[in-house]
Structure 1
């Protein structure tokens, strides 16, 4: 008997104003694994992450985390409450504060720290080993970082304290191949530590390198779920679900 998923969405619908974006999403995120959320632009992937975080409320269905309702009618929690449960979110916009230093950005993300000396030194050293540029630019304004360095800061903020689940929306978007390679290496280190990740990603070689399980969305629904390795090995399925093959994006 398989263990219950860390996060599950059951029949989730989301409306944004007059627009009906999610149409009954069913999704399970196993604990200790990396789940990739794939699909064409406009399929509802980012809306799914934002619905999990309570930024947009589910109008129908249920979002459950560790077996408890955090979203849906009658069980909707606020975004701060959801974050307090141990879920971190890295939006596509990265969500960093450009006018604040790298250090100040990290402090804001660390719930238990009020000054730099309060940060867990061992954990900070580990983060610097993943993202050396953050150490180099520790006192620089975050707005002066390169695009890749800003993405590293966004991920670093999500892991400054241990989190049960990290949601990341298109971490490789707009980044140079060398920076993507570094980002993959950092996320693989999180994976080795059995950090549970749910990633929206358009870079299929990155998805293949990181993913344990995969869900493919289309028109606001999950139309396929399974093991990432199985999807990567089946070009006909890739073509049907995504309109291209992963092999074309190595």
Structure 2
């Protein structure tokens, strides 16, 4: 088997006096979408933030393409090809969509330096970004802000995209649009680690799944296997995917 793109081994994270991650072992394969599931407070967001260096691992190893990245400053981690879309989206509301995108395109100082073909591809994923190009991001709807958050993350090619609950609070029609966008990203060989509470969303997109509980990975395997096993869903998550159609 080929080496995973991302690998966590025995990762512990403390936040102040709180011990959040208790030896997380996780692998993310090249070109696949891995879904990280678990109840609220299980440690999913802490895992993403620890990978990005926003919170420091207390111990353990985080490798990207075989190279250790734990302990590196977040900008250095990002320069190695990682992008993070937080649950709160992290957009700049007083800046226009254009200005938000330009800030994310690190190789460009001006709009005309953004890769035109890449930008048109992003517009294909999220047409609203082209329509509201000169609008302040703070005036966008919740769904449009989420689209902008993902669009910023992929305005340049990335090795790995970390996304925290992209469907949270979105209307069903916007969720369908987001599903199609992530399918396009997968087709473009984008590797994604996705935290998600909408299990139907997760089932439609996931190649692999890892389930967290109390700061540990308690299950990992193909998403299709978990989707077909209601007893396993109930044991791991306290409910079945069938109840979230």
Same fold (TM over 0.5): yes
Structure 2: distance between partners of 1:60 and 1:112: 33
- For residues 168-208 of structure 1, the C-alpha deviation after alignment (integer angstroms, 9 at most, x for no partner) is 00000000010000000000001111210000000001100
TM-score by length of 1: 0.97
Q: Secondary structure at the match of 2:11?
A: strand
Q: Identify the match of residue 116 of structure 1 among 97, 111, 120.
A: 111
Residues 48-59 of structure 1: pairs in structure 2 closer than 5 A: 48-59=47-58
In the alignment, structure 2 segments of 5+ residues that lack a partner are none
- Which residue does the alignment assign to 1:128? 123
In the alignment, structure 1 segments of 5+ residues that lack a partner are none
- For residues 228-247 of structure 1, the C-alpha deviation after alignment (integer angstroms, 9 at most, x for no partner) is 00000000000000000011
Q: Secondary structure at the match of 2:69?
A: strand
- Which residue does the alignment assign to 2:137? 142
Q: Identify the match of residue 98 of structure 2 among 103, 112, 117.
A: 103
* Post-superposition offset of 1:47: 0.1
Q: Secondary structure at the match of 2:167?
A: coil
2:230 counterpart of 1:235: yes
Q: Identify the match of residue 92 of structure 1 among 87, 90, 99.
A: 87
Residues 190-229 of structure 1: pairs in structure 2 closer than 5 A: 190-229=185-224
- Which residue does the alignment assign to 2:38? 39
* Displaced runs of 4 or more, over 6 A: none
Q: Secondary structure at the match of 2:35?
A: strand
State the number of aligned residues.
Answer: 245
Give the aligned CA root-mean-square deviation in angstroms: 0.5
- Which residue does the alignment assign to 1:6? 5
Q: Secondary structure at the match of 2:134?
A: coil
